[in-house]
Structures are given as C-alpha cells and as structure tokens.
Amino acid sequence: MKPPRQRDFLRTVKISECACGLAVTILALGFSSYYMRELLVSLALFSVAFLFLALTVLAAILLWWASEQLANRTGPASRKVIAFSRRLIAANAKP
C-alpha cells in the first residue's frame, strides 16, 4: 500500500474546514430566525418529555423485576401472588 500523498491530506483538511464553517453559518442563520428558534425549543421540550417518559417506564419495569426477584427468594405464598399477578397481566393484555 502506498502512503497517502501530502496533497490529499491537505485537501481533506480544507474540505473539513469549509464544512465546519458552513455548519456554523447555518446554525447562526437558524438562531436568528424566530421559527427556527421555536422549532429548536419545541425539540428540546419534547426530548425532555420523552426522556422523562422513558425513565418512568424503565423504573416501572425495574420495580416489577425487583419484586419478582424478591418473591422468588421468599416462600411459596409469594409465588402464588406472582402467579396471580401474571394471570392478571395476561388477562388485561388481550385486546
């Protein structure tokens, strides 16, 4: 394999500098536009809302898993409760 020529390396650096400059220009024009700012703020708010929703669902799943682990380590009475909760979930999951 041949090593890359110096001209090719310098060309990619110039292209990346142009791309960075173009991105900064687009962002600057976007922040000056009222509609662009409104879109960015709504994107941030929805991102935070969906993150909160995802964390809530994750916490519920982890609590359910922890309760099953705790019930599995205890006596048979807890296993009956787990079996009942599984039947209840299966009954409610059907459309």
Residue 78 belongs to some domain of the structure: yes
User: pLDDT tens-digit profile of 75-89?
Assistant: 777 777 878 888 888
Residue 57 belongs to some domain of the structure: yes
Residue 24 belongs to some domain of the structure: no
Q: How many domains does the chain have?
A: 1
Residue 58 belongs to some domain of the structure: yes
Residue 87 belongs to some domain of the structure: yes
Range of the domain at 81: 47-95
Residue 71 belongs to some domain of the structure: yes
The closest alpha carbon to 82, from 68, 66, 64, 62, belongs to 68
User: pLDDT tens-digit profile of 18-63?
Assistant: 777 777 777 777 777 778 778 878 988 999 999 999 999 999 999 9
